Amino acid sequence: MKSLTDPHAHDDPRYAVHKSDAEWRARLDPQQYEVARRAATERPFSGRYWDHWERGRYRCIGCAAELFESQAKFDAGCGWPSFWDQAKDGAVERVPDHSHGMVRVEVRCSRCGTHLGHVFDDGPAPSGERYCINSAAIHFDPET
């Protein structure tokens, strides 16, 4: 599996959405690009959705795929938007992450490979999971 820091990861045939690095750079602002395509992390308590509680859906910044629903959002106190479940099975993919001297599970959009954040096993019931997501990797679609 290719890392998003690999310049060829953008052409990974596993993803339904393909864009060149130049196309990603043109589509995303600098912070979104660093998070979504280079697996950077925004500072805690700095993203627009960490303390956002409107009803609706959170979509991928890269391809607009539905990733999370507001009903699954909770305050984990970590400074990033946290969800206890994905919107539907297969919306996100899990990738082993051995960076920064630790073992974690990275989560990416399963349609375009956008880096979203990580998932941990310290969330609330019923899943017991906490999807810790960068605001720069998602956008919000309010309920109408």
**Residues labelled catalytic:** 132
How big is the chain by its Cα radius of gyration, in Å? 14
Strands 66-69 and 92-97: unpaired
> In the chain, what are the helix, strand and coil shares in percent, each to the nearest 5?
20, 30, 55
- Strand segments, DSSP code E, in the chain are 56-60, 66-69, 73-74, 82-83, 92-97, 104-109, 115-120, 130-133, 138-142
Token code pair at residue 60: 């991928």
Contact at 8 Å (CB) between 121 and 81? Answer: no
